[in-house]
């Protein structure tokens, strides 16, 4: 049985707490490795190493820190297949999806290469008589991130790349379900030129999380996960004087107007609803059809596409549409919610409950489910399922559909499919959701914009990556300067003359 490690001060370090979490192969249900769960003292060892290394790193000029990011990009491309395979082995994603996970993180690293421009301050000449004023963006010090299982490459890079290029040290507490890729990323960052102690990986559970929140040296904490834990980390982190950004749950609606291209809408829903087995915070889990006729035409296109989805392990080839969910507990929760949908009156247009995969009967596979006639009072509508389950809600008017998205407690992402520009523009302007797609089902912004939801999908005032990341990982110092007037006469360089 493989026993994983922490990565502290440039070395793989075995856990000393005596506590471990099982890492499963989601396709077979077998335990393939054990992940050490750090004690508070192990976390403090990493913090001490980070605190020792950070001042010298912050003193390195921004263009040299950016060159480390350039090299890191090269190494990510070099090891792309290795990273994707390790990710798929622990998470269950298909290989193309795993590569996409790495690439979307890599794109943020590429953006960070622009750090010299992004870290420039401001200057005012002659703010007063003989007074100049200027600002500097300086690193926070030691920072930390707590990341989820569903994007074990992308989300860590969304956090640590901007933090490090801004001159901080970073301690990463990844999900204990799939920690191998974060450990590999720490090795690659040092190979790229980051000093030891600047990026460290401490595996753990709530004890490690609480140690991060209570440690006085750590200046900021980033988190992505469920809303209840996001609320807890935000409250505790802020109470302990830290800068905190937390991203929580989602229930993303896609409005389908009567004039939409139904083939395009159905294709978009299949990819956005079932890709990565629905384990995405930006997955579309609610299709809102405006008018019964629209719903009928949509389902006519959608049902056969969902019924023919290929579900299997990543080892079955690149034509697999999605793999297993991450744990047996996740599978059981999805199946429980599906049953509540039936009990509460929804119609199961595609029934994936009896899905079995020969040779992988003990794996965590969940067949595709498609509900129709879902109403807002049902549990499958209210809660984030995080599985391959798509709910169809029928509404009479555009205003009814807009209201659904606006009334839900989550506000991460949403989309509208229509041929009418006025409707699309009105939707984008009015909906109280952080990321909006117009004929785009998963509106994840590119690296030079920012990522973040609204309402109970976010706790904090700054988004991830893009310009907001450089604001989050630096603090501004403003200097007001005045030099006293003095004698300006110096040496005489002209030929002396008689007075």
DSSP output for 152-202: TTHHHHHHHHHHHHTT-EEEEE--TTS-HHHHHHHHHHHHHTPPTTSEEE-
Count H helices, E strands: the chain? 16, 23
**DSSP strand E in 329-461: where?**
347-350, 369-372, 389-395, 410-411, 413-417, 435-438, 454-455, 458-459
Residues in CB range of 73: below 8 A, 6 or more apart:
106, 109, 110, 113
**DSSP strand E in 240-353: where?**
243-247, 252-256, 284-290, 347-350
Contact yes or no for 188/79 (Cβ under 8 A): yes
Classify the C-alpha dihedral 336-282-95-469 as positive or negative.
negative
Distance of alpha carbon 105 from alpha carbon 469, whole angstroms: 14
Distance of alpha carbon 174 from alpha carbon 48, whole angstroms: 19
Residues in CB range of 55: below 8 A, 6 or more apart:
none
User: Is 281 in the active site?
Assistant: yes
Measure the CA angle with vertex 218, ends 214 and 223; round to 5°: 80
Across the strands, what pairs with 243?
220
Distance of alpha carbon 331 from alpha carbon 386, whole angstroms: 10
Q: Find the catalytic residue in 35, 112, 246, 281.
A: 281
Contact yes or no for 140/219 (Cβ under 8 A): yes
Coil/strand/helix, residue 276: helix
How long, in residues, is the chain?
A: 499
Six token digits for residue 35? 């992940």
Half-sphere exposure of 335 (CA within 13 A, CB side): 15
**Between β-strands 243-247 and 123-128, what pairing exists: parallel, antiparallel or unpaired?**
unpaired
Coil/strand/helix, residue 60: coil
Q: What residues act catalytically?
A: 281
């Amino acid at each position: 049985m493989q026993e994983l490690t922490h990565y502290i001060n440039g070395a793989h370090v075995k856990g000393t707490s005596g506590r471990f979490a099982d890492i499963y192969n989601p396709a077979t249900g077998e335990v393939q490795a054990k992940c050490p769960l750090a004690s508070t003292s192990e976390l403090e060892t990493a913090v001490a190493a980070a605190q020792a290394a950070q001042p010298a790193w912050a003193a390195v000029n921004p263009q040299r820190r950016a060159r480390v990011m350039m090299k890191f990009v090269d190494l990510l491309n070099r090891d792309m297949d290795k990273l994707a395979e390790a990710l798929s082995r622990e998470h269950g994603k298909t290989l193309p999806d795993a590569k996409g996970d790495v690439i979307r993180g890599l794109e943020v690293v590429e953006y960070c290469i622009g750090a010299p421009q992004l870290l420039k301050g401001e200057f005012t000449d002659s703010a007063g008589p003989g007074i100049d004023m200027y600002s500097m963006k300086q690193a926070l010090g030691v920072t930390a991130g707590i990341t989820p299982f569903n994007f074990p490459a992308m989300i860590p890079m969304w956090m640590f790349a901007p933090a490090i290029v801004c001159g901080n040290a970073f301690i990463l507490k990844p999900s204990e379900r799939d920690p191998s890729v974060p450990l590999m990323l720490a090795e690659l960052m040092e190979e790229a030129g980051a000093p030891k102690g600047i990026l460290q990986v401490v595996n753990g559970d709530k004890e490690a999380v609480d140690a991060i929140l209570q440690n006085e040296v750590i200046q900021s904490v980033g988190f992505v996960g469920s809303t209840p834990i996001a609320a807890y980390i935000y409250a505790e982190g802020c109470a302990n004087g830290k800068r905190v950004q937390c991203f929580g749950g989602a229930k993303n609606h896609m409005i389908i107007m009567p004039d939409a291209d139904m083939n395009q809408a159905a294709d978009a829903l299949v990819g956005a609803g079932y890709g990565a087995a629905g384990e995405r915070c930006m997955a579309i889990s609610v299709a809102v059809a405006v008018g019964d006729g629209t719903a009928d035409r949509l389902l006519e296109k959608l049902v056969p596409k969902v019924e023919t989805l290929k579900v299997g392990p990543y080892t079955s080839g690149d034509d697999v549409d999605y793999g297993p969910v991450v744990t047996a507990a996740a599978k059981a929760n999805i199946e429980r919610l599906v049953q509540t949908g039936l009990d509460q009156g929804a119609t199961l247009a595609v029934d994936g409950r009896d899905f079995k995969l020969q040779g992988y009967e003990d794996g965590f596979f969940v067949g595709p489910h498609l509900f129709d006639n879902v109403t807002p009072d049902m549990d499958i509508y209210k809660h984030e399922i995080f599985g391959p389950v798509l709910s169809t809600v029928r509404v009479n008017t555009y205003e009814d559909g807009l209201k659904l998205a606006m009334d839900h407690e989550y506000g991460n992402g949403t989309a509208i499919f229509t041929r009418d520009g006025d409707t699309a523009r009105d939707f984008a302007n009015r909906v109280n959701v952080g990321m909006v797609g117009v004929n785009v089902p998963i509106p994840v912004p590119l690296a030079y914009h920012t990522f973040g939801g609204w309402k109970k999908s976010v706790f904090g005032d700054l988004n991830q990556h893009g310009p907001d990341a450089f604001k989050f990982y630096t603090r501004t110092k403003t200097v007001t300067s005045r030099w006293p007037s003095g004698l300006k006469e110096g040496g005489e360089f002209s030929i002396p003359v008689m007075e």
